[in-house]
Amino acid sequence: MTAKIFQKELTLHTQIDQRYQTTGVDNFWKCRNKLHYLKYPYKVECKFNSRGFRDDEWPDSEDKLRNAIWCVGDSFTVGVGSPIDHTWPKMLAQATGRRTINVSMTGASNNWMVRQIEFIEKNYSPKNIIVMWSYWHRREKNDPFLLDENRRIHSDQLNTASDDLENFLNCQKQVKSTVGEKLTQLIVPNFTCGLFSAVNKWQQVRGYDWPVCPPETLVDFMSLPAEILKELIHWDLYKKYISFYEYLNNTETRFDFVEEIMSSLIEFSTLDLAKDGIHFDKKTSQWIVQQIMDHLS
């Protein structure tokens, strides 16, 4: 049976049939560690298929698409900074002997992932869908007439942290109700506090001699002494998280609900680094695949 024509939901028009030696933060000027970048031992090339995704051409029949494992995510699923064979969707295909379909976009919002998953489920109802959710504050413009690539924004200054949490929980609830038990959910490293990886910005508040380490997770942030939280509230980057700290403390049942939601997500640490020094590489992908294997039907 010939596959249905894919609509806008499964096409990144600006990336169709493109090929890049570097993309996003995978370049000498934007990478986190220039020495690591120069010494990285593998050749990296990003080649996008006729639908604009970093994947081989997709199967041409509905049966093959239905039996494939669909992988949805952001740049960690694209595999920025790594050879394609090091990405977790490719390694999952090798481990299972099944075709994987990579539907990922650098800078993707969780709302974008919801739309892709709902389209996939409606049109193909595959046996398995794996989503690696992006940072919980990753949002997008609301204009549906824009291309998906043009809707991407980091809306840290437009919403409160509780708004961001509410948005993510709605995304997760929507997908779970659509896909059900066929869904496996992962979250990117430092999922809850993507902003807190900016150590230099943290040090700007009090200087380099401040003994308190920058928080890497929401738990770390909530464990900060009250006097530090009070001081940080005057710094724009942390205002939304201060309000969220208060939000959780003042809403005990809400916090229990959040913990229950988080318990259904596979969380992991970065075991190795891609060429850009930000995304993970082969060793971490192998660990991820091991966790996914336990959830596949």
- 3-class SS string, 34-66: HHHHHHCCCCCCEECCCCCCCCCCCCCEHHHHH
Ranges 58-67, 217-226, 253-262: which has the least confidence: 253-262
At 106 the pLDDT is 95
Instruction: For residue 140, give the DSSP letter.
Output: E
**Which carries the bigger pLDDT value, residue 83 or residue 144?**
83
**Shared domain check, 141 and 196:** no
What is the mean predicted confidence (pLDDT) over 17-23?
91
**Per-position b or e across 116-150, b if 16+ CB within 10 A of its CB:** bbebbbebbebebbbbbbbbbbbbbeeeeeeebbe
**Shared domain check, 130 and 258:** no
CB 193 within 8 A of CB 221: yes
Amino acid at site 203: Q
Q: What is the strand order of the sheet 100-104 is part of?
A: 100-104, 69-73, 128-133, 183-187
**Shared domain check, 246 and 180:** no
**Shared domain check, 28 and 72:** yes
At 198 the pLDDT is 44
**Shared domain check, 168 and 99:** yes
pLDDT tens track for 258-278: 666 677 889 888 999 999 999
**Shared domain check, 202 and 70:** no
Structural domain contains residue 163: yes
**Shared domain check, 108 and 42:** yes
Structural domain contains residue 3: no
**Shared domain check, 219 and 109:** no
Total domain count, the chain:
2
CB 54 within 8 A of CB 46: yes
Structural domain contains residue 13: yes
At 42 the pLDDT is 97
At 263 the pLDDT is 76
Structural domain contains residue 170: yes
Task: Work out the pLDDT band at 215, boundaries 50, 70, 90.
Answer: low
**Shared domain check, 56 and 162:** yes
Q: Which domain range does residue 233 map to?
A: 192-267
**Shared domain check, 128 and 107:** yes
At 221 the pLDDT is 66
**Shared domain check, 229 and 125:** no
Structural domain contains residue 1: no
CA atoms within 13 A on the CB side of 213: 6
Structural domain contains residue 130: yes
Task: Work out the pLDDT band at 191, boundaries 50, 70, 90.
Answer: confident
Task: Work out the pLDDT band at 250, boundaries 50, 70, 90.
Answer: low
CATH of the domain at 39: 3.40.50
Percentage, residues of the chain above pLDDT 70 = 72
At 139 the pLDDT is 86
Structural domain contains residue 2: no
Structural domain contains residue 29: yes
**Shared domain check, 204 and 168:** no
